[in-house]
């Protein structure tokens, strides 16, 4: 009985090995295709909140693919730096416009009542 179980176990192990290595009907198991970032951030327009919410970085053996994460983070960093620069430019222009408006209102002579001049 013991000999029968050993032989049966050997047959099962051999069958599984042949199926995995390539002795089965369809040959060896196909190579696993690695996940890639399919819905990357748009290149033709600025990144929106919906783009970031919809971004899904594929998993790798030890977490996330470093190249995909690096690409996404560098793109988001560039977008944020560009927006920060644009905000700083607009705030500077607004401050200049306010200063000019205050300077003009100080130079304007006060109007006298009933159109009389001093």
User: Which tens digits make up the pLDDT trace of 48-99?
Assistant: 888 888 887 777 777 788 888 888 888 888 888 999 999 999 999 999 999 9
Q: How far is C-alpha 87 from the geometric centre of its chain's CA atoms?
A: 22
Contacts of 22 (CB under 8 A, 6+ apart): 28
pLDDT band at 114 (very low <50, low <70, confident <90, very high): low
21-40 tens-digit pLDDT: 765 456 565 666 666 666 67
Q: List the beta strands (DSSP E) in 4-113.
A: 59-60, 63-64
């Amino acid at each position: 009985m013991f000999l029968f179980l050993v032989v049966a176990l050997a047959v099962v192990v051999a069958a599984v090995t042949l199926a995995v290595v390539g002795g089965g009907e369809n040959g060896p198991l196909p190579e696993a295709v690695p996940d890639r970032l399919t819905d990357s951030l748009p290149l033709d327009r600025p990144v929106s909140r919906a783009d970031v919410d919809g971004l899904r970085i594929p998993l790798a053996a030890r977490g996330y693919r470093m190249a995909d994460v690096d690409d996404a983070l560098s793109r988001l960093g560039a977008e944020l730096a560009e927006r920060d620069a644009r905000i700083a430019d607009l705030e500077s222009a607004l401050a200049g416009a306010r200063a000019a408006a205050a300077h003009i209102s100080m130079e304007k002579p006060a109007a006298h009542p009933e159109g009389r001049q001093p």
